[in-house]
Amino acid sequence: MKSTNEHWNSIFTGKEDHELGWYEEDASQTLKFVRTIPRLNEAMVFLPGAGTSILVHELIYQCRHLVLNDISDIAIQRLKEKIKDQRKITLLHHDISTPLPENIPMVDVWIDRAVLHFLLEECEIEEYFRNLCSRVKVGGYVLFAEFAPDSASMCAGLELHRYSVEEMVERVGVDFVLIEQERYNFINPFGDRRPYIYILFKRSK
């Protein structure tokens, strides 16, 4: 089944944040990587599938501006209601597997936790990476956190394309240099183990 606005809206409508399979009480695993990025306080940061993540509430203090995208308008609305300093955010309701609107600015940092792995068709994955390459500045950073090859094959009722480090390196292409990687055993709110790969890249050209 394809990742759609309707599918995600029904999930976000029916559940509280702590009932979502990918919910984390704190964003320290992602922040550990993000904090290694130089001059974060000056950075324009893009989240391709922000959901209702706690990460947003941490990042808002640490970077210059956040562009928060999601395919679910309900997730975006929920996020908006929780964010106090609206001046530092731009909200976008867009399917990241289709070309981004031209007015989206170039960004210093792109952070994807558990979004890319929902794209199954080759053309969707390719468009995702075209978006990424068209928006991340030279010298900018990209952090991926996706299900590892031996993680669950489904999440949120959808099939997944799980990623090895090797596939990620190939997908992102020669303009990006791998800075750091880590396998991380996420334990979801139901006590199940969901191994992720975390990979940080820097754009070199």
Ligand X SMILES: C[S@@+](CC[C@H](N)C(=O)[O-])C[C@H]1O[C@@H](n2cnc3c(N)ncnc32)[C@H](O)[C@@H]1O
Binding site for ligand X (CB under 6 A): 3, 8, 22, 48-51, 53, 69-72, 75, 95-97, 113-115, 118, 156
Smaller CB separation from ligand X, 19 or 42: 19
Residues ≥6 apart with Cβ < 8 Å to 14: none
String of DSSP letters for 189-202: TTS-EEEEEEEEEE
Burial of 151: CB neighbours in 10 Å, binned 0-12, 13-18, 19+: buried
Smaller CB separation from ligand X, 32 or 42: 32
Smaller CB separation from ligand X, 50 or 200: 50
Residues ≥6 apart with Cβ < 8 Å to 21: 155, 156, 188, 189, 190, 194
To ligand X, the closest distance from the beta carbon of 79 in angstroms equals 9
H or E element at residue 133 = helix 122-135
To ligand X, the closest distance from the beta carbon of 122 in angstroms equals 14
Smaller CB separation from ligand X, 3 or 151: 3
To ligand X, the closest distance from the beta carbon of 128 in angstroms equals 8
To ligand X, the closest distance from the beta carbon of 92 in angstroms equals 9
SS3 143: strand
